Chain A
Amino acid sequence: MAETLERVQKIVVDRLGVDESEVKMEATFKDDLGADSLDVVELVMELEDEFDLEISDEEAEKISTVADVVNYIDSQ
């Protein structure tokens, strides 16, 4: 899980231009990290490439926090 978080953090920092310390498990993409809906779509696309998996539109819609992403990836 720690390793997954690190990789997710790197992508989020890169994409949203936030500080790594802000990308905590409980942080929400929209409110805490300042992402708009299209940013979230792009994040999901990058995560799919980084972790070589496909996140369905239904699953993608449920993503709100960093923890949602980390848990989803670890459950695959």
Chain B
Amino acid sequence: MLLKGKKAIVTGASRGIGRAIALHLAQNGADVAINYAGNEAKAAETVKDCQAYGVDAFSIQANVSEEEEVKTLFKTVTDHFGRIDLLINNAGITKDNLVMRMKADEWDSVVDTNLKGVFLCSKAAARPMMKQRSGAIVNIASVVGVLGNPGQANYVAAKSGVIGLTKSLAREFATRHIRVNTVAPGFIDTEMTDVLQDDKREDLLSQIPLGELGRPEDVAEAVTFLASDQSRYMTGQTLHVDGGMYMP
């Protein structure tokens, strides 16, 4: 097992990609703290499914864009596990609108959760990781963060910001043996993409060389790789898990 005994926290892990990541980490032997913002019942389900792999798992509510809540979140997790080896910054929201129609608070809330949340959680996790002289942070960005997407200026700006933030964090923490990398998923079959209308869906599939939507597990595989020692010599990188949509 790649992650036997590692202590992990996954933000936004009650459903979608976050849930798949939590399960995959658990399957690989990691103990997992399941953070969620609002859906307590779904978080409890993820906890139960992680525990089925024989690991320690528990859920904890916190809004990652609120500094005080993040501090409490990491204190609770550190007290529970005694250390933190892996942080997966997955929590994200969308509030799509054309720029000409987008309200400032739609911009703020998306940037606060998707970008500031990564900063706050990474800062909080870095404390125990620096003391340990080890740790891995994996951020979840998006293919639209590199391609752009009409109607998602706020989301695109935040996700693009995550890729830059990853590089800065990687450089700041490298001497303490904390690696920081990003996974940029393409269009993955989750509730977030369920809202796409059928004609938009067809159009989308034509832009994906591999010709299908990704599965949450496809992202989870890449995250587990970047969280494990298999990627010990990688930091500051972005892995594109998008069926070939973006080729650097």
Q: Which residues of the partner chain A approach B210 to less than 8 Å between Cβ atoms? A: none
Question: For the complex, is B69 an interface residue (Cβ under 8 Å from A)?
Answer: no
Q: Which residues of the partner chain B approach A41 to less than 8 Å between Cβ atoms? A: 130
* Main DSSP-derived SS at the B contact region: helix
Question: For the complex, is B131 an interface residue (Cβ under 8 Å from A)?
Answer: yes
For chain B, give the interface size range.
Answer: under 10
Interface membership of chain B positions 118-130, coded 1 if the CB is closer than 8 angstroms to chain A and 0 otherwise: 0000000001001
For chain A, give the interface size range.
Answer: under 10
Q: Once the chains bind, are A38 and B127 in contact (CB under 8 Å)?
A: no
Q: How far is the CB of B235 from chain A (nearest CB, A)?
A: 15
Q: Once the chains bind, are A38 and B131 in contact (CB under 8 Å)?
A: no
Question: For the complex, is A19 an interface residue (Cβ under 8 Å from B)?
Answer: no
Question: For the complex, is B176 an interface residue (Cβ under 8 Å from A)?
Answer: yes
Q: How far is the CB of B82 from chain A (nearest CB, A)?
A: 14
Q: Which residues of the partner chain B approach A42 to less than 8 Å between Cβ atoms? A: 130-131
Name which residue of chain A comes closest to B175, CB basis.
A38
Question: A interface vs B, CB < 8 Å?
Answer: 38, 41-42, 45
Question: B interface vs A, CB < 8 Å?
Answer: 127, 130-131, 172, 175-176
- Kindly list the 8 A-B residue pairs having the minimum CB-CB distance in the complex, ordered from nearest: A42-B130, A45-B127, A38-B175, A45-B131, A38-B172, A38-B176, A45-B130, A42-B131
